[in-house]
């Protein structure tokens, strides 16, 4: 199912010139975000996207100015363009986009939330192989129950937390992630 299709401008990160934007065509279809140089017309075109991202593995943020219009000193915005959003990919790549109208930005935000919701509903649960204290483990994110860490060899559950217990998380952008959970009995924060 296609949730969104539309033109926007991508800010080129590696350009030698300041503030260079390129028109791109974004589409949210099924579990993926597609970036095209021109809109897909045929089924074959969907396989030739410039870039493809899994919706559940990117983070999108709509940028807002914190000061009245015209003042950009205290803003997430990089230049005078007002209707912008960023996406961070699973490999840590930061992408910066601009749309023409505020209504375009609101439409994008609703579409991205819808696509993410639909994908979470579809997959329900995802397990990742990981290493904890030199032991092979499995980390399952179950969208109905929460986080479960288990020993890969014995399948013994080491810890389990609900989403409501997650109080923070951080990662090094490469291979390490840290979760902060609140213990329901002691109310203490536990790092995993």
Same domain, 33 and 109: yes
Distance (Å, whole) CA 73 – CA 192: 37
* Domain closes at, from 123, 145, 169: 123
Asked whether residue 34 carries a pLDDT value surpassing 60, the answer given is: yes
Same domain, 17 and 62: yes
Structural domain that includes position 93? 2-123
Asked whether residue 48 carries a pLDDT value surpassing 90, the answer given is: yes
- pLDDT category of residue 38 using cuts at 50, 70 and 90: very high
Same domain, 85 and 14: yes
Phi, psi of 157 (to 5 degrees): -75, 125
Same domain, 53 and 144: no
Asked whether residue 19 carries a pLDDT value surpassing 70, the answer given is: no
Same domain, 87 and 12: yes
Same domain, 117 and 87: yes
Q: Which residue has the higher pLDDT, 55 or 66?
A: 55
**What confidence tens digit (pLDDT) does each residue in 137-163 have?**
999 999 889 999 999 999 999 999 999
CATH (domain of 73):
2.30.29.30
Same domain, 25 and 108: yes
Q: What is the DSSP code string of 6-18?
A: EEEEEEPSS-SSS
Same domain, 101 and 25: yes
- pLDDT category of residue 76 using cuts at 50, 70 and 90: confident
Same domain, 173 and 150: yes
Same domain, 112 and 143: no
Model's pTM, two decimal places?
A: 0.71
Distance (Å, whole) CA 129 – CA 12: 34
How high is the pLDDT of residue 15?
55
Number of separate domains in the chain = 2
């Amino acid at each position: 199912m296609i949730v969104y299709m539309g033109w926007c401008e991508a800010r080129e990160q590696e350009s030698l010139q300041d503030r260079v934007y390129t028109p791109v065509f974004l589409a949210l279809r099924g579990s993926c975000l597609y970036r095209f140089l021109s809109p897909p017309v045929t089924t074959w075109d969907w396989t030739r996207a410039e870039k493809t991202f899994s919706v559940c593995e990117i983070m999108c943020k709509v940028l807002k100015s914190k000061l009245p219009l015209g003042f950009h000193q205290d803003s997430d915005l990089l230049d005078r363009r007002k209707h912008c959003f960023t996406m961070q990919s699973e490999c840590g790549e930061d992408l910066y986009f601009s749309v023409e109208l505020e209504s375009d930005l609101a439409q994008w935000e609703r579409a991205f939330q819808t696509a993410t919701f639909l994908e979470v509903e579809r997959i329900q649960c995802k397990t990742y192989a990981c290493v904890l204290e030199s032991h092979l483990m499995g980390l399952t994110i179950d969208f109905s129950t929460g986080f479960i860490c288990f020993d890969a060899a014995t399948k013994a559950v080491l810890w389990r937390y609900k989403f409501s217990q997650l109080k923070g998380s951080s990662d090094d952008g490469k291979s390490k992630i840290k979760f902060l959970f609140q213990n329901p009995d002691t109310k203490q924060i536990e790092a995993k």
